[in-house]
Amino acid sequence: MTPAIDAHVRLDTHPTHPSAVQAVLTGSQAHLASMALEAAGWSVAATGVLVLARIDHEEPYWAADAAQNLIAEGITVEVTQRLQEAIDAEWTWVNYPMPWLTRSEIREVSSEAQKIHDDIRNGHLLIHAHAHDGHTTVAVGTYLHRGGKSVYLHGEDHLRQVAGTFDSPASALLAFEKAHADGMRPGPAPLTDTERAAIAARSVFDVTTFQPEPARPEPETVPVYLADTGDHDALLDTFLDKHREFQKWRTWSDDTTHAIHESQTLRIERVHETPAHETAWTVAAYETPVSDRIWVLTATGATPAPLLQGLLIHLADGDGWDTAISASVDEKMVTAATQPLSDAGWKHTVDGRWIRWTSPGGDAGVQFEPSPRNHASQNLATWTIWAGPDSKRPTWAITGSPHTPSSLLADLSETLTHETGTRQPQPGREHRTRIAASAPAAPAVTAGRPASRSR
């Protein structure tokens, strides 16, 4: 076991820069943490305070990486809730010029651009001249290390790349002058707004002038249908890691994940960044890989994680889903699907063509429409499970088509009546979490999923 080091690192968002991160170091061996952070690109901004300010806006990602490395060295790390939310958030570059790249590939491009920026800033890459090629800034320079190679640079900030190399500064300058004679200027190009902002974020500041976040109340235990949404993406990732019989692929636009059972007769679709009231999950079963749907179930973006976790566990059971078409949706099937609701004392009513089961508090329910017209299509929502003010204004909803297996519906009914979750009573107030040495599996209920942000 790695021995503990008397150093504590508190990671938080920067007080003025929108994406930068600050680290406040305490303890008799804080200098060890400082050395590790400086080696990772952090800058000393004040006594016991370091700042990570990058031109690729990936500071939260690299702060999480630094935290894991510090923990591995035996250093205690604390992360504030607002930084954790920034770490968990999914960024989207607006009008990114290489839309075919995945997020990890975009991060690789940005990291290379950051290395170039750092080499220039630290005096390791000497820029001889720059120009504007009509679209972006280009430059030529020579490394004072790495064998002293000369490079042709194209782009600005997170898009800057090495577009060519030369054997000597003379050959590099001759080629650059030939291509950009009219606009060629000596030395490096003027700083971009992003570069100036990063410099400002690294400037010395008085950390004592910034007030700590107020204490955040402990989450309360509530019936599962009132629980916080949780992290749906982490839930699916954990499920797929454990169940290799499902093959995962993501659309080129990176907004949808598909998980297909090896039999090709059960398919799960997860649409990311979905508003709370819109469909975020679709589960469909087929008699054969090329037949029409037998049944389909959907869930909206605000559906509590424990319900979805129960659904996925059911689907992972070899007998947990059925692709056989039942002759009819009869009373026996409906009774089997809703028996847990009746046993738990949920109110049973018949309203026109609807049969309803409502929770004692009236804030959740299950309804079934036995109308024969539903049997004309396998895609109609015969079953609706909901929670919220009422069934017409649900906070979240799960719908199922006529032949959704009664065993699956019974499991969902069992979860509704017996499971609990947690809910944060006053979101937005501080809750500090200690980063574990390795990422845990998705919990049954987590804090509400952080919103996506655009750069």
What phi, psi does 318 have (nearest 5°)?
A: -55, -30
In this predicted structure, what is the pLDDT of residue 440? 30
User: pLDDT at residue 143 above 50?
Assistant: yes
pLDDT interval class at 449 (50, 70, 90): very low
* Residue 11 near residue 21 (C-beta atoms within 8 A): yes
Could you give the count of Cα atoms lying within 13 Å of 55 in the half-sphere of its Cβ?
26
Pseudo-torsion of CA 404, 408, 414, 419, nearest 10°? -110
Q: Which residues 6+ apart lie within 8 Å of 409 measured at CB?
A: 337, 338, 383, 400
Burial 393-427 (b: 16+ CB within 10 A, else e): ebbbbbbbbbbbbbbbbbbbbbbbbebebbbbeee
Report pLDDT for 23.
Answer: 94
pLDDT band at 288 (very low <50, low <70, confident <90, very high): confident
Residue 324 scores a pLDDT above 80: no
CA gap 89, 94 in Å, rounded: 15
Secondary structure of the chain as H, E, C letters? CCCCCCCEEEEEECCCCCCCEEEEEECCCHHHHHHHHHHCCCEEEECCEEEECCCCCCHHHHHHHHHHHHHHCCCEEEECHHHHHHHHCCEECCCCCCCCCCHHHHHHHHHHHHHHHHHHHCCCEEEEEEEECCCCEEEEEEECCHHHCEEEEECCHHHCEEEEEECCHHHHHHHHHHHHCCCCEECCCCCCHHHHHHHHHHCCCCHHHCCCCCECCCCEEEEHHHCCCCCHHHHHHHHHHHCCCEEEEECCCCCEEEEEECCCCEEEEEECCCCCCCEEEEEEEECCCCCCEEEEEEEECCCCHHHHHHHHHHHHCCCCCCCCCCCCCCHHHHHHHHHHHHHCCCEEEEECCEEEEECCCCCEEEEECCCHHHHHCCCCCCEEEEECCCCCCCCEEEEECCCCCHHHHHHHHHHHHHCEEEECCCCCCECCECCCCCCCCCCCCCCCCCCCEEC
* Residues, the chain: 455
Contact predicate 322/312, CB 8 Å: no
Residue predicted with more confidence, 119 or 217 = 119
Distance CA 329, CA 53 (A): 61
Describe the crossing of helices 59-72 and 81-88 by its angle, rounded to 10 degrees: 110
400 bridge partner residues: 297, 383
Spatial separation of the C-alpha atoms in residues 11 and 50, rounded to whole Å: 10
| 352, two tokens | 């026109």
- With pLDDT > 90 as the criterion, what percentage of the chain qualifies? 49
**Residue 325: band (very low, low, confident or very high) from pLDDT cuts 50, 70, 90:** low
Distance between CA atoms of 330 and 325, rounded to whole angstroms? 13
Tokens at 217, concatenated: 């109340």
Q: Tell me, what amino acid is at 5? A: I
Mean pLDDT for the stretch of residues 350-358: 88
User: Six-digit token pair at 82?
Assistant: 């607002």
For the question of whether the overall pTM of this predicted structure is more than 0.85, the answer is no
Indicate the pLDDT class of residue 414, thresholds 50, 70 and 90. very high
> Per residue in 153-168, pLDDT tens?
999 999 999 999 998 9
CA 422 to CA 227: how far, in whole Å? Answer: 5
Smallest CA-to-CA distance from 444 within 136, 230, 199, 159 is with: 230
Least confident of 10-19, 337-346, 433-442: 433-442
Provide φ and ψ at 122, rounded to 5°.
Answer: -90, 5
Return the bridge partners of 13, or none: 21
- Of the listed ranges 58-72, 108-122, 125-139, 326-340, the one predicted with least confidence: 326-340
pLDDT at 31 over 60: yes
Please report how the helices 30-39 and 59-72 are oriented relative to each other, as an axis angle in degrees rounded to 10. 130
- 45 in Cβ contact with 12 (< 8 Å): no
Mean pLDDT of the chain: 83
Res 318 pLDDT > 70: no
pLDDT of residue 253: 63
Rounded-to-integer distance, Cα 7 and Cα 139, Å:
43
- The pLDDT value given to residue 436: 31
Contact yes or no for 290/263 (Cβ under 8 A): no
